[in-house]
Structure 1
Amino acid sequence: MHQALDGFLNPDSCELELLRRLIAALRPADAGDEACNQRYALMLERLEQDAELRAGFRHHVIHFIGSRRLLTFFTDSGILPGTGFFSEWWRILGNRILPEVPDERRMKDCLHLIFDQRDDWRWLEAVPAELSHRFWEILAPPETFREMDRRGVQEQMLDAVLLLAHRVSGLGVEGELMRASPNLDDDSPRFIALSAEALEFVGSFRAGLDGDETRFDKGDQLLVIVAQCQDTLNRIRKRALTIGTSLHLSYLLTRSEQSLRRITELVSILTAGLRSTPHDVAIRDWSTFSRAVFLAENRRHSLSHYLQQLSGVLAVRVTENAARSGEHYICETRADYGRMWRSAAGAGVLIGLMALLKIKAAALQAPLFVEAFMFSMIYGLGFVAIFLLGFTVATKQPAMTAQTLAGLLGDLKPTRSADLDRIADVAAAVSRSQLAAIGGNVMVALPVAILVGFVLSLLFGQPLIGMEKAVHLMADLDPLSWAIPHAAIAGFYLFISGLISGYFDNRAAYASIGPRIARLRWLQRLAGKNRAKRIGSHIEDRLGGIMGNFLFGCMLGSTGMIGTLLGLPLDIRHIAFSSANLGYALTGFEFAIAWQAMLWGALGVALIGLTNLGVSFALALRTAMGARRIEFAHWGPLLAALWRRFRQHPRSFLLPPRPSAENGSA
């Protein structure tokens, strides 16, 4: 690091190369190395103590900044490009294969040459803001700052303000953004006025720089219009949580908000002197701005960061849909508990029949793709039928109820016992609801399979399931086989199906699927206008559930084929189907099976169910908390509250409250 600093004493050295060497010396050897902050602080101490080095360092860095084109640094760094979601996606992927050629004349490109490691933002972010502030204090102390020729930088800042304002004006009247606006007539003029006001501000400020100091504009009116535009975007975001959103709308919102925020930052920096802002405060503002832009530019080629910028509204909207569905899966009263049992029992009957269809389809020994198609249709159409009939599949619950719990965790204040008690109440309700659904599925699917297998065996005069197939079905339940990993795959699919349901619910609302279906002329002629409206509304309300269940079935049905094609041991295990398979295996053995083998198979079913539920719940909870930007750090008090509730009222986790308790709570 000291050798890198010594290079700044040579007035003829290349500034870009000097800065690259300095950053390379400061960069930590690995992500967990905290010594880089010590090296950074040591660098600042040497610059503060060595006047000659400080002067050389300041000369090189200021000349480097002043000799570069800064316009794109101000308008593009940290702001989504105008190319659109998928174009930027492909640009990031393409850059990893064939890197872009930087233009050393532009500051934006030079940052990628100086911070040339893809994860430099990690250690830069870990550098305390106070050290960054000291760095810029060294570069621009009060006595030198007044003597610096800042006109070139100010001119490019003014151009950036104008360009950003024109950009937001264009985005603000974008058709999709305006369609989502709660008040189109009042909102459009704000965006149109932004461009005109920015032009007025830039013209007045330039006149002041040219000598007519009476023309200097502090930008107050411009910032008022910026705030009005931001208010409109905030209301559109809130409305999107109700009417739905899309990737394109999320992209427009994010880009517009970033541009408005950049206008505010640039105006604040430009007018700091006019507002008599203390030098220390002005330098701190610039330090905060430059630090954020450096970090954003270094992450420009990060696909995960790019997706994170856009996931906010869409992810919250998708998980909110799932959360509302999750509320229907929670049994608060005995009546709810009874309905859950009946609903799960109905699903158990259909699952028992679906399992038999799959066994018979597998016996056909059809070509691989044909078999996968048959399995997918059996699963997919069966799950859709279960959904439309109002029945419940136990394993669908965790992906939904996790969203509800995430919403409660976001509002939790661990210092308030009432909040902890509320979480404990919901956790107990979720536990007994889940057990009721599992009981309804398993305790019906198993006897249905035994009954169907036994009756059909009598009708045909031979076992419905052959001995070889029965052995295979029992082997699939062996806890020491691939049963548990395959159950984890099914759990992942359950989580994905919850997101799919939320996405299509969002899409149905955003695209007004119901009213559009109701406008179909052939449907109106066939069913009449009023009935067409009811059909459209019915489909819109259930589109998410239909698509989530159907695609979940397709994922289950095609996994075995994918595993065969890839030569990998891929398959799925689902608790309800496993319990039905256990019943059919018993009929295949004609009930002549050792009780130890029976218990071993039952244990396999239980572990498969636990894995299904655990994987889907954990993934759904993590996703829901990430979508809401919840960083929950109070697991200790929460777990203590849950354990206290379990010790005091263990029955509440298993059974609904007694009638007296219900009346008392009411």
Structure 2
Amino acid sequence: MLLKTALVRWIRRFAGHQASGEQRLLAALDDFRNPEADELQLLRQLIAALRPADAGDEASNARYALMLERLESDAGLRAGFRHHLIHFVGSRRLLTFFTDSGILPGTGFFSEWWRILGNRILPEAPDERRVKDCLHLIFDRRDDWRWLEAVPAELSHRFWEILAPPETFREMDRRGVQEQMLDAVLLLAHRVSGLGVDGELMRASPNLDDDAPRFIALSEEALEFVRAFRAGLDGDDSRFDRGDQLLVIVDQCQETLKRIRKRALTIGTSLHLSYLLTRSEQSLTRIAELTRILTAGLRATPHEQAIRDWASFARAVFLAENRRHSLRHYMQQLSGVLAVRVTENAARSGEHYICESRADYGRMWRSAAGAGVLIALMALLKIKAAALHAPLFVEAFMFSMIYGLGFVAIFLLGFTVATKQPAMTAQTLASLLGELKPTRQAELERIADVAAAVSRSQLAAIAGNVMVALPVAIAVGFGLSLLAGQPAVDMEKAVHLLADIDPLSWAIPHAAIAGFYLFLSGLISGYFDNRAAYASIGPRIGRLRWLQRLAGKARAERVGSYIEERLGGIMGNFLFGCMLGSTGMIGTLLGLPLDIRHIAFASANLGYAVTGFDFAIAWQAVLWGALGVALIGLTNLGVSFALALRTALGARRIAFSHWGTLLGALWRRFRQQPRSFLLPPPENGAA
């Protein structure tokens, strides 16, 4: 009975809200009948009536459809609506709307970044004489693009068909609009010609001699097109240019930019190059769109198709202009090449962490065991450094160096830290998911093969780290106790070490922080790998005169190649160690319970705690600590893998939606071949 009453109340409230929204919309439409009303205010009222009241309001599309029905059925209202819209467009400047809306500005990456941040604090003052600025007054909420994007394209096309039937063109100042479109084409062409011969873009061009003339020719052809079209507007119909040659050159420039993007995935990229590429591509697309709109009549394009082309163009520009102050949207535009390049480097690294054969499996065990030995020694160094009770910054520096230099040593010696794997292997899985077609059983089986290999590789690395770090810590602690005549770790510190891995303490949140750092370290490694390739770090190091005098030219070149190949791993591991070492200090300064927990170090600390108690410790306490170590490891791996997979899918613009099918295939494989997720395949390759 209570449920029924609540449902009735909700229906009445929803119906009342919907009726109120419809009344506001009809009132806003009726105001268009007044020929003296201010167009900008009318449009602001209309959008306010169409805008959903909250994120869960699904009635905005219904109101949009109601507006179209009302305009179609009421000739007087339709005439007033058209009159105000035509006057609004005709009385304002359109040039910046055509050249800047939806296109990155020429100020550069960081200047635009600071402009967006500054606009959050002190909003810009719009110029109501420009259509571009008026859009921010009409769509005055930053999230208006969300409900605008949800409006079906068919409704948007219908709106423009109502607004611009063939007879309406006679009422418009078409010449004024066309003149501003022509100016926009010319301005955009000059802009792209300048960007196309920028040194950064030409450096990344695969064929400089063939590519540069295309961008120069674009400006010349645009000038010729504009001159001819204006002559046609002045009455010389024979001079009208359909823009075919201009569109051909635009296509050639776009092909050049595509090749540069593809090459950037190999030679590396930078934020500046990504900015140039994105701005050039957006400008070329805009030139093509404006040219097709201008020449629709010359191409005998049906009026309905011309309206649809304009509707699609206007919809895209409105959405982009509303998102102009969105930092997230800005980063999405520029992160494409750089993010893919960074994650591709991580994906290639991830392939080395996957055990396909028994030999790979054995190597993984040995590699992880070597890391376990060093981690046990690093954990002891950290315990001894903490016992010095040094000033906060000095202690953070010592911890950072112990972690950072230790991880670099592990990397250069070819050893494996288990928690580094998820951030790398997630990239490899993401590259496979992007090509997955769930209807093809062979592709599902391939994913299952890789998932099984990742699982057994991860288990081997964890076992190698933990099963070596723990006994080595016990052996080192016991040996030092015998040599010094007292425990290597005192009782108070042993209690503290056990408390740190207590599953009911802050251990799990702290493990999540470490998992986030593991994810970041994967991106850092990919970034520096990209930077090393893009900046030619190896050859530049090989050319150092002091190094050539010290080691000889050939050895200097080999040193440069060695550093270039490993720069990503060195920086990723060192900065990961610095993040681990400084988090506790940051937490103390901020008064927040911030710290890190890492499975390998947690297992070593458990070993030192046992020796600190001189082995007189209850077995229940040891098991409880082992549970804490296991949960810390699970959190480390889960957080880093989830973040890395999400980032890799986003970088590749993969909207994977077949998780159910994929999980079903993995479950079938696990039921049929559980051994493949734990151990390598037999030597003969039989399942």
TM-score for both structures, normalised by structure 1: 0.99
**Distance (Å, rounded) in 2 between the aligned partners of 1:200 and 1:33:** 51
Report whether the alignment pairs 1:450 with 2:474: yes
1:371 alignment partner in structure 2: 395
Letter aligned with residue 628 of structure 2: G
2:244 alignment partner in structure 1: 220
Indicate conservation of the 8 Å contact 1:347/1:392, yes or no.
Answer: yes
Letter aligned with residue 366 of structure 1: A
1:555 alignment partner in structure 2: 579
Indicate conservation of the 8 Å contact 2:90/2:172, yes or no.
Answer: no
1:523-560 per-position Cα deviation (integer Å, ceiling 9, x unaligned): 11111111111000000000000000000000000000
Indicate conservation of the 8 Å contact 1:65/1:107, yes or no.
Answer: yes
**Distance (Å, rounded) in 2 between the aligned partners of 1:148 and 1:602:** 78
SS state of the match for residue 181, structure 2?
A: helix
Letter aligned with residue 657 of structure 1: P
1:422 alignment partner in structure 2: 446
**Distance (Å, rounded) in 1 between the aligned partners of 2:239 and 2:623:** 89
**Distance (Å, rounded) in 1 between the aligned partners of 2:364 and 2:170:** 75
Farther-moved stretch of structure 1 (138-147 vs 558-567): 138-147
1:323 alignment partner in structure 2: 347
**Distance (Å, rounded) in 2 between the aligned partners of 1:598 and 1:527:** 53
Report whether the alignment pairs 1:479 with 2:503: yes
Q: How does 1:100-249 map to 2 (within 5 A)?
A: 100-146=124-170, 148-249=172-273
1:256-306 per-position Cα deviation (integer Å, ceiling 9, x unaligned): 000000000000000000000000000000000001000000000000000
Letter aligned with residue 174 of structure 1: D
**Aligned match of 1:289 in 296, 308, 313?**
313
**Distance (Å, rounded) in 2 between the aligned partners of 1:536 and 1:598:** 48
1:1-48 per-position Cα deviation (integer Å, ceiling 9, x unaligned): 111111111111100000001001111001221101111110110111
Letter aligned with residue 198 of structure 2: E
How many residues align? The count is 663
**Distance (Å, rounded) in 2 between the aligned partners of 1:572 and 1:144:** 68
Q: How does 1:522-533 map to 2 (within 5 A)?
A: 522-533=546-557
Report whether the alignment pairs 1:501 with 2:525: yes
**Distance (Å, rounded) in 1 between the aligned partners of 2:172 and 2:640:** 60
SS state of the match for residue 425, structure 2?
A: helix
Indicate conservation of the 8 Å contact 2:514/2:636, yes or no.
Answer: yes
**Distance (Å, rounded) in 2 between the aligned partners of 1:660 and 1:291:** 60
Letter aligned with residue 617 of structure 2: I
Report whether the alignment pairs 1:388 with 2:412: yes
**Distance (Å, rounded) in 2 between the aligned partners of 1:634 and 1:595:** 46
**Distance (Å, rounded) in 2 between the aligned partners of 1:294 and 1:455:** 72
**Distance (Å, rounded) in 2 between the aligned partners of 1:364 and 1:347:** 26
2:593 alignment partner in structure 1: 569
Q: How does 1:600-639 map to 2 (within 5 A)?
A: 600-639=624-663
Runs of 4+ in 1 over 2 A off after TM superposition: 143-149
SS state of the match for residue 684, structure 2?
A: helix
Indicate conservation of the 8 Å contact 2:350/2:421, yes or no.
Answer: yes
Letter aligned with residue 451 of structure 1: A
Letter aligned with residue 349 of structure 1: V
**Distance (Å, rounded) in 2 between the aligned partners of 1:149 and 1:73:** 17
Indicate conservation of the 8 Å contact 1:346/1:391, yes or no.
Answer: yes
Report whether the alignment pairs 1:252 with 2:276: yes
Indicate conservation of the 8 Å contact 2:40/2:138, yes or no.
Answer: yes
Letter aligned with residue 99 of structure 1: P
**Aligned match of 1:17 in 23, 32, 41?**
41
**Aligned match of 1:93 in 117, 120, 129?**
117
**Distance (Å, rounded) in 1 between the aligned partners of 2:481 and 2:172:** 96
Q: Post-superposition shift, 1:659?
A: 1.2
SS state of the match for residue 496, structure 1?
A: helix
SS state of the match for residue 434, structure 2?
A: helix
1:49-90 per-position Cα deviation (integer Å, ceiling 9, x unaligned): 110110000000011001110000000000000000000000
Indicate conservation of the 8 Å contact 1:31/1:122, yes or no.
Answer: no
2:385 alignment partner in structure 1: 361
**Distance (Å, rounded) in 2 between the aligned partners of 1:172 and 1:185:** 12
**Distance (Å, rounded) in 1 between the aligned partners of 2:600 and 2:668:** 32
1:496-530 per-position Cα deviation (integer Å, ceiling 9, x unaligned): 00000000000000000001111111111111111
**Distance (Å, rounded) in 2 between the aligned partners of 1:334 and 1:140:** 70
SS state of the match for residue 54, structure 1?
A: helix
Q: Post-superposition shift, 1:143?
A: 2.5
Indicate conservation of the 8 Å contact 2:188/2:283, yes or no.
Answer: yes
Report whether the alignment pairs 1:579 with 2:603: yes
1:207-237 per-position Cα deviation (integer Å, ceiling 9, x unaligned): 0000000000000000000000000000000
**Distance (Å, rounded) in 1 between the aligned partners of 2:492 and 2:210:** 73
Report whether the alignment pairs 1:461 with 2:485: yes
**Aligned match of 2:83 in 59, 71, 86?**
59
Q: Post-superposition shift, 1:660?
A: 1.8
SS state of the match for residue 416, structure 2?
A: coil
Q: Post-superposition shift, 1:144?
A: 2.4
**Aligned match of 1:69 in 87, 93, 96?**
93
**Distance (Å, rounded) in 1 between the aligned partners of 2:237 and 2:356:** 70
SS state of the match for residue 660, structure 1?
A: coil
Report whether the alignment pairs 1:344 with 2:362: no
**1:486 to 1:565, Cα distance in 2 relative to 1, 3 A:** same
TM-score for both structures, normalised by structure 2: 0.96
Letter aligned with residue 563 of structure 1: G
Letter aligned with residue 556 of structure 1: L
SS state of the match for residue 487, structure 2?
A: coil
**Distance (Å, rounded) in 1 between the aligned partners of 2:595 and 2:164:** 64
Report whether the alignment pairs 1:305 with 2:329: yes
Indicate conservation of the 8 Å contact 1:484/1:611, yes or no.
Answer: yes
1:536 alignment partner in structure 2: 560
Report whether the alignment pairs 1:408 with 2:432: yes
SS state of the match for residue 644, structure 1?
A: helix
Letter aligned with residue 500 of structure 2: D
**Aligned match of 2:422 in 398, 411, 424?**
398
- What CA RMSD, in Å, does the superposition of the two structures yield over aligned residues? 0.7
Letter aligned with residue 402 of structure 1: A
Indicate conservation of the 8 Å contact 2:86/2:172, yes or no.
Answer: no
Indicate conservation of the 8 Å contact 1:453/1:465, yes or no.
Answer: yes
Indicate conservation of the 8 Å contact 2:355/2:361, yes or no.
Answer: yes
**Distance (Å, rounded) in 2 between the aligned partners of 1:301 and 1:177:** 27
**Distance (Å, rounded) in 2 between the aligned partners of 1:553 and 1:143:** 71
Q: Post-superposition shift, 1:145?
A: 2.4
**Distance (Å, rounded) in 1 between the aligned partners of 2:563 and 2:121:** 44
**Distance (Å, rounded) in 1 between the aligned partners of 2:595 and 2:625:** 18
Indicate conservation of the 8 Å contact 2:376/2:470, yes or no.
Answer: yes
2:676 alignment partner in structure 1: 652
**Distance (Å, rounded) in 2 between the aligned partners of 1:632 and 1:347:** 35
**Distance (Å, rounded) in 1 between the aligned partners of 2:223 and 2:159:** 34
Q: Post-superposition shift, 1:146?
A: 4.5
1:163-189 per-position Cα deviation (integer Å, ceiling 9, x unaligned): 000000000000000000000000000
Q: Post-superposition shift, 1:147?
A: 5.0
Q: Post-superposition shift, 1:149?
A: 2.8
**Distance (Å, rounded) in 2 between the aligned partners of 1:318 and 1:385:** 23
Letter aligned with residue 297 of structure 1: E
